[in-house]
């Protein structure tokens, strides 16, 4: 039953891979734009999406879209919504605003106007002089772009990149949903060895193992919409039960995570244990500059140190040169590097990158440099 419109938000550059995830889950009829994917769904789907999506940021429930040239327009359209249906009595309400290239240009005033419209309607409905905020929290997101306003409820709460397994991180750990996207954007499959020689807190190899085992990323965390009255509790129980049933406990694959820092290997093992994949990954202390490749047609995916992370220019040059020399001898290996260092291709000269994707790790712009190796023989 299609009884609502949902918006899945993503980091810029990951819209296609997130759309592919949605298609694999059976959804269709998408409206895709920068950083978001809109489609029709059912209330029960909210649970399944939050539990299952690997590369998304959040899942929003769309309430309305309208033109807002001034605050009178904004107040009028917000007041038309039946807020008593969406917001239970005494719910703690937060309004988040994002305004871009619009006649309304104050986000703070926009937040205040939306909250005023909502509270006034709720006071009338509940016949109260004021609304005591003490129950479940509901976050309203108002986005205005070129005078078009989009009003939605955040069903996720803490961003979907927070899986719950990473208790320890490195100096600048990659976000979990971005790490999953790097794996899904690569040529890796369970028949090919995967290595991260600078694994830090282990995020990339942990996400790869979870993909190989089909472990849902949201199994061990809670979501904002779990206590909303119009989303049945059974849908959350069913979503988690279906996800557990879908896990592949017999899959065979080889994943290796290396790092020169002993503390990083310890953190990686702890994080992998929390994620339920410790037995699926070989972690070892090793220097990436002395990496040895013992398998054919393998895949390397890594987020090496750069600028805002640690490492001097000389250290990075030595690291890149060592990797370049190694992979010149191994054209069968595919190499995937995400880095904010725009000089990286000058050091890695095995070949020009086959593809470079512009991505973001948090607020840091980075390039995902993809070098394809020769194809493995057909079995």
Same domain, 273 and 359: yes
Q: Give the pLDDT score at 343.
A: 82
Task: Give me the number of domains the chain comprises.
Answer: 2
- Sign of the Cα torsion 100, 174, 50, 25 reads positive
List the single range of 6-20, 73-87, 125-139, 176-190 with lowest mean pLDDT. 125-139
Structural domain contains residue 166: no
CA 139, distance to chain mean position in Å, is 19
Dist CA 361 CA 173 (whole Å): 9
Q: Are residues 117 and 206 in the same domain?
A: no
Distances from the Cα of 224 to the Cα of 86, 95, 120, angstroms: 13, 14, 24
Same domain, 181 and 38: no
Q: For residue 36, give the CATH number of its domain.
A: 3.30.2130.30
Assigned token pair, 289? 């500059």
Asked whether residue 171 is domain-assigned, the answer is no
Return the percentage of the chain with pLDDT > 90, whole number. 78
Q: How much of the chain exceeds pLDDT 70, in percent?
A: 94
pLDDT at 137 over 90: no
Residues 268-320: tens digit of each pLDDT: 999 999 999 999 999 999 999 999 999 999 999 999 886 544 556 777 788 88
Q: Within this chain, do residues 183 and 149 fall inside the same structural domain, yes or no? A: no
Task: Flag whether 220 is in a domain.
Answer: no
Mean pLDDT of 30-43: 96
Among 181-195, 302-316, 328-342, the range scoring the smallest mean pLDDT is 302-316
376 pLDDT tier (thresholds 50, 70, 90): confident
Q: Residue 100 domain-assigned?
A: yes
Q: Using 50, 70 and 90 to split pLDDT, how confident is the model at 208? A: very high
Per the structure block, which two tokens stand in for 11? 């980091």
Q: What is the pLDDT of residue 315?
A: 78
How far CA 191 is from CA of 276, 279, 379, in Å, comes to 21, 18, 11
95 part of a folded domain? yes
In the predicted model, what is the mean pLDDT of residues 172-198?
Answer: 95
* CATH number of the domain bearing residue 189: 3.40.50.150
Cα separation, 280 vs 282, whole angstroms? 7
Rounded to whole angstroms, how far apart are CA atoms 372 and 378? 17
Q: Are residues 208 and 356 in the same domain?
A: yes
**pLDDT recorded at residue 309:** 46
147-151, 203-207, 287-291: lowest mean pLDDT where? Answer: 287-291
Query: What is the mean predicted confidence (pLDDT) over 32-56?
Result: 97
The CA distance from 211 to 283, in Å, is 18
* 233 token code pair: 């509790």
Mean pLDDT (the chain) is 92
In this structure, is residue 108 part of a structural domain?
yes
- Per residue in 234-252, pLDDT tens? 999 999 999 999 999 999 9
- Provide the domain limits for residue 106: 4-154
Confidence of residue 50 (pLDDT cuts 50, 70, 90): very high
Shared domain for 204 and 119, answered yes or no, is no
The pTM is what?
0.93
pLDDT confidence of residue 84: 92
204 and 298 fall within a common domain: yes
Residues 206 and 302 placed together within one structural domain of the fold? yes
| Residues 103 and 210 both lie in one domain | no
Check if the beta carbon of residue 156 is closer than 8 Å to that of residue 50.
yes
What mean pLDDT comes out for the span 148-164? Answer: 97
Per-residue pLDDT tens digits for 56-105: 999 999 999 999 999 999 999 999 999 999 998 878 899 999 999 999 99
Does residue 116 form part of some domain?
Answer: yes
Structure confidence at residue 171 as a pLDDT band (50, 70, 90): low
Is residue 193 domain-shared with residue 77, that is, in the same domain?
no
Same domain, 149 and 186: no
* pLDDT score at 126: 85
Q: For residue 172, is pLDDT > 70?
A: no
Are 120 and 189 in the same domain? no
Q: What is the mean pLDDT of residues 143-149?
A: 97
Q: Is residue 122 in some structural domain?
A: yes
């Amino acid at each position: 039953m299609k009884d609502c419109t949902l918006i899945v938000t993503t980091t810029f550059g990951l819209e296609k891979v997130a759309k592919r995830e949605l298609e694999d889950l059976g959804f269709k009829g998408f409206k895709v734009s920068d950083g978001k994917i809109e489609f029709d769904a059912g209330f029960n789907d909210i649970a399944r999406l939050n539990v299952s999506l690997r590369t998304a940021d959040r899942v929003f429930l769309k309430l309305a879209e309208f033109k807002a040239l001034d605050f009178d327009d904004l107040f009028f359209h917000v007041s038309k919504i039946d807020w008593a249906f969406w917001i239970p009595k005494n719910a703690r309400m937060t309004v988040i605003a994002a305004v871009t290239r619009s006649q309304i240009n104050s986000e703070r005033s926009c937040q205040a106007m939306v909250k005023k419209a909502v509270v006034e309607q709720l006071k009338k409905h509940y016949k109260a002089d004021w609304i005591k905020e003490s129950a479940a929290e509901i976050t309203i997101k108002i986005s205005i772009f070129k005078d078009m306003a989009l009003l939605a409820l955040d069903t996720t709460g803490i961003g979907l990149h927070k899986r719950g397994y990473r208790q320890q991180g490195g100096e600048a750990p990659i976000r979990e949903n971005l790490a999953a996207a790097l794996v899904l954007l690569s040529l890796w499959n369970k028949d090919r060895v995967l290595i991260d020689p600078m694994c830090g807190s282990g995020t990339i190899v942990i996400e790869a193992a979870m993909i190989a085992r089909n472990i849902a990323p949201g199994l061990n965390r809670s979501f904002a919409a779990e206590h909303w009255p119009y989303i049945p509790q059974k849908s959350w129980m069913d979503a988690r039960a279906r996800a557990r049933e879908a896990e592949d406990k017999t899959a065979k694959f080889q994943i290796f995570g290396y790092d020169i820092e002993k503390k990083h290997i310890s953190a990686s093992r702890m994080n992998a244990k929390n994620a339920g994949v410790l037995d699926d990954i070989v972690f070892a202390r090793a220097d990436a500059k002395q990496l040895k490749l013992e398998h054919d047609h393998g895949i390397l995916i890594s987020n090496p140190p750069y600028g805002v992370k640690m490492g001097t220019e000389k250290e990075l040059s030595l690291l890149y040169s060592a990797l370049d020399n190694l992979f010149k001898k191994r054209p069968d290996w595919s190499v995937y590097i995400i880095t904010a260092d725009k000089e990286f291709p000058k050091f890695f000269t095995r070949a020009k990158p086959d593809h470079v994707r512009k991505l973001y790790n948090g607020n840091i712009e980075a390039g995902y440099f993809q070098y394809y190796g020769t194809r493995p023989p057909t079995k």
